[in-house]
Amino acid sequence: MVSQSEVAISALRRRRSHLRRVIRAQIALGHGIDEMRPVLARYLRVGGYIRRSLQRSERVSAVAFNLNAFSQQEALVNFRFFVPDLGRLSSLLDLQVDVSRRRYNVSPIECLAIVLRRLASPSRWTDLELLFGRSASSLSEIFCRGVDELIGRWGHLITTWRAALMAERAAAYAAAIAGKDAPLQTCVGFIDGTLIRIARPGRGLQRVCYSGHKRCHAIKFQSICTPDGLLFHLFGPVEGRRHDMLLYHESGVDAQLEATLLIDETQFCIYGDSAYILRAWIQRGYGAWPDGDAEEQAYDGAMNRLREAVEWGFKEVKQQFTSLDFKRKLKICETSVGAQYLSGALLWNMRSCFYGNQTSTYFDCAAPSIERYLQCQ
């Protein structure tokens, strides 16, 4: 594969050859040095660009990615995992990206590292060339294919309702929430929507992506968060102007909750704000006014305080993978913004299986092991 840097160098060389012909023509016409000075300056400047580009290309080609060369702290900063855990996760995910037609190969662990590094920080691809020893164009292609492979093989873990996992953990979830003085004793999670701010779109999408409530262009996801900090179910993306209740109906999760939250004759439920409907399997606050019933106010206050846990999950996903919070690079007409957020949320869940998170610490409810989380049910 011809890299982007090689294409740029070839273009510069063609430009230098053109300027050389211009200089020769001016000499043949008897032009003086003062008349030729602008062309000579451009010629020398292009030569400098070529020299520096070749030097950088040589430095990049001399680098070979080696995860073991990173210290534990460097790996945590760059990839959000320690070295042994990243190796373990890579062997479990086994991301096989086919780039054989491009005349280079990429190992599963390097593919995962590229995806994690790109999500961790909104760096330019050229800034990552010396980290991985690959050209910017190769890194970009590996990242896009890696995200597609991750979502294609493992996306169901977060986009489908996992009834078996919920049946295993529902009692522990309810006990963890009840242990924080929740008046609702059978609550196993919280539901809410989140906005991902994006760059102002074109192609007639400005109106549909504009959220009048937040006054920004965005796409929207609906998430159900459990007390172990997992984004247990994620639906989206949809246009930023959509209401939370519309997402709930379109997600189809209502039928799943009805069918699976009655466990051993106990009706478990999730809790949402006043935007959601009231059913046996989804509860909401009374929405009591300040002069309303004292018990209703106390109920709303206690549950809304605990419901903030879902906001912690949204916040931590963006904190760990800051490129998902850098709207200038989130251009829905140019990149797969929705797939990137899904992959970031999925990797966040996997990270929580290793290290826990703010929500799991608050509720004292550990996430499942990474092996259990990656099981299909």
3-state secondary structure 156-182: HHHHCCCHHHHHHHHHHHHHHHHCCCC
Q: Is residue 351 part of a domain?
A: no
Judgement on whether residues 150 and 179 belong to the same structural domain of the protein: no
Is the CB of residue 306 less than 8 Å from the CB of residue 181? Answer: no
Judgement on whether residues 327 and 200 belong to the same structural domain of the protein: yes
Name the amino acid, one letter, at 295.
E
Q: Is residue 315 part of a domain?
A: yes
Integer Cα distance of 222 and 234 in angstroms: 6
Judgement on whether residues 126 and 253 belong to the same structural domain of the protein: no
Judgement on whether residues 56 and 77 belong to the same structural domain of the protein: no
Non-local (6+) Cβ contacts of 255 within 8 A are none
Judgement on whether residues 177 and 303 belong to the same structural domain of the protein: yes
Q: Is residue 31 part of a domain?
A: yes
Domain count, the chain: 3
Integer Cα distance of 95 and 116 in angstroms: 13
Stretches in the chain below the pLDDT threshold 50: 1
Tokens of 285: 């606050």
Judgement on whether residues 94 and 220 belong to the same structural domain of the protein: no
Integer Cα distance of 120 and 79 in angstroms: 7
Judgement on whether residues 307 and 165 belong to the same structural domain of the protein: yes
Integer Cα distance of 284 and 303 in angstroms: 9
Which of 353, 358, 274 shows the shortest CA–CA distance to 89?
Answer: 353
Q: Is residue 350 part of a domain?
A: no
Does 84 sit behind a cis peptide bond, omega within 30 degrees of 0 on the bond before it?
Answer: no
pLDDT at position 289: 59
pLDDT at position 160: 94
Considering the entire predicted model, what is its pTM?
0.84
Q: Is residue 342 part of a domain?
A: no
Judgement on whether residues 118 and 33 belong to the same structural domain of the protein: no
Judgement on whether residues 247 and 287 belong to the same structural domain of the protein: yes
Judgement on whether residues 239 and 301 belong to the same structural domain of the protein: yes
Contacts of 79-86 spanning 24+ positions with Cβ under 8 A: 79/113, 79/116, 79/117, 79/120, 80/116, 80/120, 80/320, 80/321, 80/347, 80/351, 81/116, 81/351, 81/354, 85/354, 86/112, 86/113, 86/116
Domain boundary among 121, 154, 187: 154
Domain boundary among 136, 154, 172: 154
Judgement on whether residues 216 and 301 belong to the same structural domain of the protein: yes
Domain boundary among 12, 28, 61: 61
Non-local (6+) Cβ contacts of 71 within 8 A are none
Instruction: Assign 3-class secondary structure to 54-70.
Output: HHHHHHHHCCCCCHHHC
Name beta bridge partners: 197.
Answer: 218
pLDDT at position 60: 64
pLDDT at position 1: 45
pLDDT at position 377: 60
Q: Is residue 233 part of a domain?
A: yes
Q: Is residue 12 part of a domain?
A: yes
Q: Is residue 183 part of a domain?
A: yes
Name beta bridge partners: 190.
Answer: 225, 271
Judgement on whether residues 43 and 87 belong to the same structural domain of the protein: no
Which structural domain range is residue 24 located in? 4-61
